[in-house]
Amino acid sequence: VVEPKFDGVSASLIYEDGVFVRGVTRGDGRIGEDVTQNLRTIRNLPLVLDASKGELPAVLEVRGEVLIQLERFHAFNEAREASGQDRLANPRNAAAGALRRNDPSTVAKYPLEFHTWSAPRFKAGEYVSQTDANAALKEWGLPFSKYGEVVKGLDACLAYHAKMEGGRDKIPFEIDGVVAKLDDLALRERLGRTARAMRWQYAHKFTAREVSTALLAIEASVGTNGRLTPRAHVEPVEVGGVVVRHTTLHNAEHVASLGVKVGDRVFVHRAGDVIPQVNGVAKAAEGSAPADWSDQLPEELRDEEGGIVPGVTSGWAEEYAVPSGCPACGTAPVQEGKYWRCPNTYGCQPQVVGRATHLAGRGGFEIDRIGPKQIAQLFAEGLINGPGDLFHLDRDAEKRGVLVELERWGEKSVDGLFEQLEERRRVDFGRFLAALAIPDVGAQTGRLLAMHFEELDSLKGATEEELLDVDGIGPEVAASIATWFTSKEGEELLEQLFSGGVELVYPEQSAGGGALDGKTLVFTGTMEGMTRAEAKQQAEAAGGRVASSVSKKTDFLVVGGKPGSKAKKAEELGVRVLLEEGFVEFLRSGD
């Protein structure tokens, strides 16, 4: 099944006995935002399904995309402008903004529409393919795009991609590629998924649209972990419906490979139709700078006296060079591989603000009463010196008095923040790990670590070899985690948090009493009666933990056809080896 990859906002709809009862956005991938009342305003979305076309399931979950047709978007923008409102940037942002509004009567004015692309909760077993399931969904009244097809073989998938890319400007919606899905639902189940993606589908993006513009300056910006990243400031230009003013240049080595200098006309595109990137030089800067050159520099690159702020390369035809001092605090940067980093973790404003914002954000403690601007205020006033200091604000009467007097704060705001701080002190272990801003550890890796290690102390003491036992963690991430937990900054942040009253809530490692309760398994070779994903699911359901490599802590190695070096290592370490049949029997009997 091949379909357009719409550039809209995904939503999940729940129907109970054919009646629409709830709708949510994707959110962080686990918890979405309830937008039920706003979705009810979408004209082509049925609130009650047509039961005359076949028996309806008791619970039906439908997923799809909320979109605005281009022609309707332009007409909507003209109407907004005529009424004195600002024009919206592009259809996707307009749809996303509409769904987050608090007033459904305002949302109803937006020309939104919904297009179905899957139904993950359905009548199990009644349909053998997505094609059959889609036919039922259409009969019940759910809207679909007319551009989906069923093809056979990879060449046909590629041909569909070429056809859609060639005709993308004739399609009334913004699309940035195509999606190909295996039609057979039973085979999808067998293929399963990885931690990040389904194995039975893939997205194939279109070639990015490219335009040229002038490179005005290159700024060394300081990130959450202190990394100095070259950032290009360009003359504003529209790329695929979005006005681009600046874009990352990754690192000094990447800038050198592009050969760009300030004043060049450069090619800019949006990678995947999303992330702006400089793709090379269109025309090198020649001669002397135009008279109005310095006037074109953005205000954000100027200080109060009108001069250029530190860390900015702005001279005509100048090459970018790593600054000798951090643009934010003046500390000499240190080189780490291809990157340069400011080591002044708790004295450099962008790092403290970035880390504290990350800690309080949606993937961390979810403290939505405070954001980057307020955190920057707190740092400037000396109320926090590190991310963990957030949990000390409500424990200091003097700090409370200062907070109340700050601009845009007051009694009500401070009370609301303090109440939320108290509520959020108890935090899920996996979410806690993601909040620490350990390089390469996000929400998914945090969950993997939380399920593998029973408590924080066992994780802190883990070696790189032990971290590699966690299925889904490779050498670079293992090294990053081990380094962070032995670093001074890691120890200081943990001390800040726990002295501020933070408490960890550990997940249940298993329901208890399973055949593999507390045991660690490794799989190798080709399974015959089930897929590796199915075997892993069965092991975890029985209380086991699945690791990716054999070590002294491995209890069982499950061997399929054509086993690799893991079998030899298991023999050397005296690890018990089970064939696939033995594994199935052990699950049944526990022996």
State the virtual CA torsion across 55, 61, 64, 69 in degrees, nearest 10. Answer: 60
pLDDT for position 22: 95
Q: Give, for all 591 residues of the chain, the pLDDT tens digit.
A: 999 999 899 999 999 999 999 999 987 666 778 999 999 999 999 999 998 877 889 999 999 999 999 999 999 999 999 999 988 888 998 999 999 898 999 999 999 999 999 898 887 567 889 999 999 999 999 999 999 999 999 999 999 999 999 998 899 998 989 999 999 988 888 888 766 678 899 999 998 888 999 999 999 999 988 999 999 999 999 887 678 999 999 999 999 999 999 999 999 987 655 678 999 999 999 888 888 887 888 888 888 888 898 999 998 999 999 999 999 999 999 998 899 999 998 889 999 999 999 999 988 998 989 999 999 999 999 999 999 999 999 988 888 889 999 988 999 999 999 999 999 999 999 999 999 999 889 888 898 898 889 899 999 999 998 998 887 788 989 999 999 999 998 999 999 999 999 999 987 644 455 778 778 888 888 777 776 767 877 887 787 878 877 888 888 899 887 777 888 888 888 899 988 888 888 887 776
How far apart CA 473 and CA 537 sit, in angstroms, is 18
List pLDDT tens digits, range 170-185: 999 989 899 999 999 8
Per-residue tokens: 55: 């028996």
pLDDT for position 271: 66
How far apart CA 70 and CA 492 sit, in angstroms, is 52
- Show the beta-strand stretches assigned E in 468-519: 503-505
List pLDDT tens digits, range 346-373: 889 999 999 999 999 988 998 989 999 9
The torsion angles phi and psi of 14, rounded to 5 degrees, stand at: -115, 125
User: With left for phi above 0 and alpha for psi between -120 and 50, is residue 84 left, alpha or beta?
Assistant: left
Instruction: Tell me the pairing of strands 19-25 and 201-205.
Output: unpaired
In single-letter form, the type of residue at position 50 comes to: D
pLDDT for position 268: 93
How far apart CA 252 and CA 232 sit, in angstroms, is 12
How far apart CA 98 and CA 393 sit, in angstroms, is 35
Report angle CA 341, 346, 349 to the nearest 5 degrees: 75
Write out the catalytic residue numbers: 5
DSSP 207: P
CA distances to 118, 332, 340, 440, 508 from 436, rounded to whole Å, are: 35, 24, 21, 11, 22
